[in-house]
Structure 1
Amino acid sequence: MKKLFLIIAISLIGSTSIFAQQTDIDITPDNSWLKAGLTAGIPVGDANDASSFNLGVDLRGQYLFNPNFAIGVASGYSHYFGKDGFEDFGMVPIAGFARYYFTPNGLFVGTDVGYGLLTNIDNNDGGLYVNPQVGYHNRDWNIYAFYQNTFAENDLDLQNVGVGVTYNIRFK
């Protein structure tokens, strides 16, 4: 499984490099920015057995191809607070993302796909990470609902549903 993710990552990096060389990408404050924010969620599935609440930070670098479609990289940290008898644990996503903005201000849909690294869980490094989202955006803020799932090793699915908010920090 780890080899598969390595191959996918190398392919994405390679295709991005080729694309960047073949097109003239102009990074401006109107098409590229850093998103930084917070998330809060309720664990479901396997995660609900060991945790009652989740808090996290969300960090993203985004490039807007046109007024409606964006891609980027995403990371952060999700902290799961352990229930009685369980220790706290966490997940660090390393992902790419795509978003579709219906209008300059308003509804958007998107998803993150990548690898979720698990912390403080014995015999489990992580696995495939997906994070579909639907939300509202304007020039400065994004508010969204999400369903996050890390398909980890040893038949562990680390899932939660929640809300997030990010602030857009413009590149100048």
Structure 2
Amino acid sequence: MRTGIRGLLIAAMVTFGTAGFAQQGASSPENYNQGFRLGFGLNAGAVTGDYFNWSLGADARLQYDFSKRTSITLTTGYTHLFGDNDIPDLGFIPVKGGFKAFVWDDEFYVLGELGAGFSVTNDYDKTAFLWAPGIGYATKYIDISVRYEGMTDFKADQVALRLAYGFKL
């Protein structure tokens, strides 16, 4: 089942990403003002697997816009996975780099991120590889997205909703 969900998310990202690049030339101005954006978000999600029930976190995302439709991102923050009664909670700091492509009306986007999760709780001493495809909607200040975040070594993955406020630097 996990393989099917991952395959579906990757296929959607490739399909929408390709469509976004095909339309880029028609709607992007020649001299787009490239620059940085900064966003602060809150995350909440459902955790898959047998050890944790749900997640809660906060993040900061730095984004550099190459064009009106393409950006690279650097995201960090803190995520807390809440365990069952006899399983201790897990807190970790994610550090992820990614690529964001707007695919529809310069508001809807797909995002892919890769990075690491550094455990900060005493019961865990591992660093996990993170990969996170997602989709979202962004305006000048508001960013709402849903992502699947796969985590090796933490025995859990999550589907999370992110609500963020962002602005141009």
Q: Is the shorter-chain TM-score for this pair beyond 0.5, marking a shared fold? A: yes
| Structure 1 contact 105–136 (Cα < 8 Å) conserved | no
Give the alignment of 1:7-46 within 5 angstroms.
31-45=35-49
| Structure 2 residue 109 is matched with structure 1 residue 125 | no
Structure 2 unaligned segments of length 5 or more: list them: 1-32
Aligned to 2:162: 164
Q: What is the SS of the residue equivalent to 1:165?
A: strand
CA–CA distance in structure 2, aligned partners of residues 87 and 122 of structure 1: 7
Q: 1:62-91 CA distances to partner (integer Å, 9 max, x unpaired)?
A: 000000000021111111112111222112
Residue in structure 1 matched with residue 62 of structure 2 by the alignment: 61
Tell me the equivalent position of 1:102: 103
Amino acid at match of 2:156: L
Unaligned segments of structure 1, at least 5 residues: 1-28
The answer (yes or no) to whether the contact 1:37–1:58 under 8 Å persists in 2 is: yes
Runs of 4 or more above 3 Å deviation: 121-124
Q: Which shifted more, 130-139 or 117-126? A: 117-126
Distance in 2 between the 1:138 and 1:83 partners? 37
CA contact (8 A) 1:126 1:150 kept: no
SS in 2 for 1:102: strand
User: What's the % identity of the aligned pairs?
Assistant: 26
Q: Distance in 2 between matches of 1:129 and 1:162?
A: 14
SS in 1 for 2:86: coil
**Across the two proteins, how many residue pairs are aligned to each other?**
138
Aligned to 2:18: none
- Once the two structures are superposed, the pairs formed by residues 52-91 of structure 1 within 5 Å of their partners are 52-91=53-92
What are the superposed Cα offsets for residues 65-121 of structure 1, whole Å, 9 maximum, x if unpaired?
Answer: 000000021111111112111222112111111100124542100111011112326
Contact conserved, 2:34 with 2:67, CA < 8 A, in 1? Answer: no
Cα RMSD (Å):
2.0
CA distance, structure 2, for counterparts of residue 128 and residue 121 of structure 1? 19
Maintained 8 Å contact 2:92/2:121: no
Q: TM-score, normalised by structure 2?
A: 0.74
